[in-house]
Amino acid sequence: KQEVTQIPAALSVPEGENLVLNCSFTDSAIYNLQWFRQDPGKGLTSLLLIQSSQREQTSGRLNASLDKSSGRSTLYIAASQPGDSATYLCATESYSNYQLIWGAGTKLIIKP
């Protein structure tokens, strides 16, 4: 059974720093991996989707990488801003069903 883990659960960094959020998963037979952002009291916004055949995806200051062999994905945020403060969740989708399996998220605080 797939398990997705995100460490740390919370992270606080000064504005302007580059940072990396981690996501690990136990079953490498994934269809894709997605990174989402969740703001308090709001829904989730998809940030990046990496298909199993891809190694990375980029959107603006965000770069997500995928290493299926080691069961890891990272989300790199460049030049962090206070507006990046949110909870970031990763989720994997397996070949066998339509279910996204989610990590518990990393709560990110960017200090001005």
Residues that bind other proteins (CB under 8 A): 4, 9, 31-32, 34, 41-46, 49, 51, 89, 91, 93, 98-105
Residue nearer to other proteins on the CB measure, 77 or 89 = 89
Residue nearer to other proteins on the CB measure, 98 or 112 = 98
Minimal distance in Å, beta carbon 18 to other proteins? 25
The secondary structure of the chain, three-state, reads CCCEECCCCEEEEECCCCEEEEEEECCCCEEEEEEEEECCCCCEEEEEEEECCCCEEEECCEEEEEECCCCEEEEEECCCCHHHCEEEEEEEEECCCCCEEECCCEEEEEEC
Minimal distance in Å, beta carbon 109 to other proteins? 16
Specify whether the CB–CB gap between 73 and 80 falls below 8 A.
no
Residue nearer to other proteins on the CB measure, 100 or 108 = 100
Minimal distance in Å, beta carbon 16 to other proteins? 29
Residue nearer to other proteins on the CB measure, 76 or 102 = 102
Minimal distance in Å, beta carbon 64 to other proteins? 13
